[in-house]
Structure 1
């Protein structure tokens, strides 16, 4: 039984496994941005069918109940749509822009609820995703030499932009087969692999490392972790390096909070923090300054985009936002206001209510998985995924990249489903 644990057994698992395994070919033809939303809504249709069939007499295949945290995500992402409509109405943006933004919601915010829903209700086994992520890591290692030598042997930065762009409606970055980019100012190469830009590749690399670490087969685990590390390191993403250092130890500590020796270790650490606190604050300030100066231009633009977003949110659209993204001035190189930051972006586009619509599900999910992580390994993995989303919400717009990091969302849903099954088994055992 254990030998087949990683093999897809249900239609939903087969679809998920196929989409992960075909990541590189889909990237080459520009299909990733299309396949992500199509998969999310297909799985949602399968959830609806499973729930409908469960209500028919004599049906044996009972779907899992929807966990409370997943319901909160569904409510939050549905609220995003209503807020969007109100924002469009407030600024008289017209039916055309409203329809376009609604389609954008379906390809972004909606997926952040649909994939966890599928993972929970369709009972997707995490082992299937772990193995497929490891396969993706192996394929990444095979492709890696081509990417690394490309800037030094004269290969073009951009292979092509897929004609599938006409179906997506997003910018060309999402459909471009890009071998590398040259860092402005430094003149050094930087890689984004199958992501639309380098920091996004770093985010996917972190997710791959954390998921591959749960694979029991040492060979596949090694390939998965190595492939994920390659994505994270060669993307040269500062946030990816922070996430790799911080998230795994944090989850490890949370999972052992109920053990007396953890508190024994923590006590002198807390005491030391109290004594050396001022010194540590100074060191942290220095580290932050060095972190920002590593790419001074990037940090400057990000900070300016944030200031513009907050100022215009406060003065123009406090509750429901502006409804649409707007490009900033020359100061920020005409980048979209609030980009590179989910919270600033939400304040500008969807106002304070939009911030609540994301913050509440994140907080509820974090709390629920922290409580479960002490007794359940799947909950620990789900917690790691939520921590990645939380950390990257300060460096990326989560809704834009949902089509890419969706396996992490499925794992979050599966963590709740498996925890519920374990709880039910314990209850039946005690009874």
Structure 2
């Protein structure tokens, strides 16, 4: 459903299209980590200006009211900030460290609220995001053979690190133009595309797969699907493969759940499969073990980091956490405690308060968008798939670090929240 009531495209709609379509160009100058926060803050500023000027009676392009679902994300991320500040105070961290962490919150967690706010309240169309994403998909598809040939041609892994790294960030990999990476355990090639590491490429590949499957243009739809599958496969991320097999089929099933024939077909299928249930379970178990063994060292490190994070959270700082990440010991390869997992990271850094600050908005959106997808809304289906993807990846990545890449999906969550609010007003008017 297109909620934009204007015949001419709003300037924010054009800005979003240009920013997303230029993803590869911006990446080649190392600017993606800068683009996300700048776009989020800039469009939020435009929204606030419209609210202010609109209240003065001047003729400006109207903005939509903030839906309840977006308010939940705003409050959740503000609670996240509160947990950060109290955690720093409880652990006697310096003022400089507190300021640095607050800036990090603004470039990470805050974006999880700003982009849904922008999508809900500004005049941005779902079709704009999908069409711009298809341009990114085409670029990714064209570049894939070149990226695969790079190691065979003897080209370096990293071409250069952009001077934009001076603005500050989690690490130089966020500003590096990297053609590929070599897996140290088996010497295989993994592609990162325009992301900082390969599993992140798997997450973004799934986001672009969601957009492609929602595209109504057949040619662009298949370009997007093939491109997204290339990103997922060549990232060699186990979580990405699992997400691709699970998320969209579930969303489609929810969207078609109102059809009695689907339930009859599912019941008949379950009945016919009952004699083979044990064999199916054994096959699934063997497959999961095979996926784990693909990168056994990585699995071991992740599990150990999680155990350390949970133990130290519970015994040292259960409510507001430690305030900052800490370097792990040698047997976890000195990886930061709480990294590679959103929930363990939140427990360690922001405690139980931080976990609730993310869990409540995710649960709200999951329920809200499931109901909207059930009503066969395209925006609802895309938004539900995005929330499922975020939930799925929260067990393998730190979501806030990659929010600067997930912003198109976060925008669609806002667009879907706008639809939920509109349906609520319609129901109220009818009663």
Distance 1:318 1:282 in 2: 38
In structure 1, what is the equivalent of residue 411 of structure 2?
410
Matches within 5 A, 1:198-277: 198-269=198-269
State how far apart, in whole Å, the 2-side matches of 1:23 and 1:108 are: 19
Q: Which residue of 2 aligns with 1:44?
A: 44
| 1:173 Cα offset (Å) | 0.8
Q: Deviations over 1:185-218 (max 9, x none)?
A: 2011111011000010111111111102222222
CA distance in 1, matches of 2:284, 2:224: 32
For the residues of structure 1 that align with 2:387 and 2:141, how far apart are their CA atoms? 26
Checking the alignment, whether the CA contact within 8 Å between 2:372 and 2:380 is kept in structure 1 is yes
Please give the alpha-carbon distance, in whole angstroms, between the structure 1 residues aligned to 2:34 and 2:317.
32
Cα distance in structure 1, aligned partners of 2:8 and 2:224: 18
Check 1:386–1:273 CA distance in 2 against 1; reply closer, same or farther (3 A cut): farther
> Quick one: structure 1 residues 117 and 308, their matched pair in 2 at CA, closer, same or farther if it must change by over 3 Å?
same
The answer to whether residue 84 in structure 2 is matched with residue 84 in structure 1 is yes
**Matches of 2:69 and 2:428 in 1, distance apart?**
21
TM-superposed deviation, 1:65: 1.6
Task: Say whether the 8 Å CA contact 1:136–1:227 is kept in structure 2.
Answer: no
Paired position in structure 2 for 1:400: 401
**Distance change in 2, residues 1:254/1:96 (3 Å):** same
SS of corresponding position for 1:232: helix
Equivalent in the alignment of 2:117:
117
Asked whether the equivalents of residues 17 and 132 of structure 1 are also in contact (C-alpha less than 8 Å), the reply is yes
Residue equivalent to 1:34: 34
Q: Match of 2:143?
A: 143
Shift of 1:372: 1.3
How well do the aligned residues superpose, as a CA RMSD in angstroms? 2.2
> 2:195 aligns to what?
195
Which deviates the most, 207-216 or 88-97? Answer: 207-216
Divergent runs of 4+, >4 A: 269-281, 422-428
Residue 151 to residue 60, structure 1, CA distance change in 2 (3 Å): closer
Equivalent residue, structure 2, for 1:299: 299
SS at structure 1 position matched to 2:65: coil
SS of 1:152's equivalent? coil
1: distance between equivalents of 2:245 and 2:218?
A: 22
Partner of 1:310: 310
Q: TM-score when scaled to structure 2?
A: 0.94
Shift of 1:225: 2.0
Instruction: Identify unmatched segments of 5+ residues in structure 2.
Output: none
Q: 8 Å contact 1:50–1:63 — kept in the other structure?
A: yes
Match of 1:374 in 2: 374
C-alpha contact (below 8 Å) 1:8/1:17 kept by paired residues: no
| Residue 159 (str. 1) matches residue 159 (str. 2) | yes
Deviates more, 1:105-114 or 1:247-256: 247-256
Hey, what's the Cα distance between the residues in 2 that align with 1:217 and 1:341?
36
Measured in 2, the distance between the counterparts of 1:316 and 1:160 equals 41
How many Å separate the matches in 1 of 2:8 and 2:310?
A: 46
1:94 matched residue in structure 2: 94
Per-residue CA distance 1:79-121 (angstroms, 9 max, x = gap): 0000000000000001000000000000000000100010001
CA distance in 1, matches of 2:272, 2:77: 42
Contact 2:77 / 2:358 at 8 angstroms: preserved in 1? yes
In terms of mean alpha carbon deviation, does 63-72 or 112-121 score higher? 63-72
Q: Encode CA deviations 1:328-355: one digit per residue, 9 max, x unaligned.
A: 1111111111111100110110111111
Question: May I ask how many residue pairs the two structures share in their alignment?
Answer: 427
Deviation at 1:223, TM superposition (A): 2.1
Deviations 1:161-185 (A, max 9, x none): 1111111232111011111111112
Structure 1, unaligned stretches of length 5 or more? none
Note the C-alpha offset of 1:270.
Answer: 5.2
1:273 Cα shift?
Answer: 7.6
Deviations 1:205-253 (A, max 9, x none): 1111110222222222222222222211111111111111111110011
Give the corresponding residue for 2:386: 385
Deviation (angstroms), 1:422: 5.2
The 1-side partners of 2:62 and 2:424 are apart by: 17
Superposed CA deviations along residues 286-307 of structure 1, whole A, max 9, x for unmatched, are: 2222111010011111111111
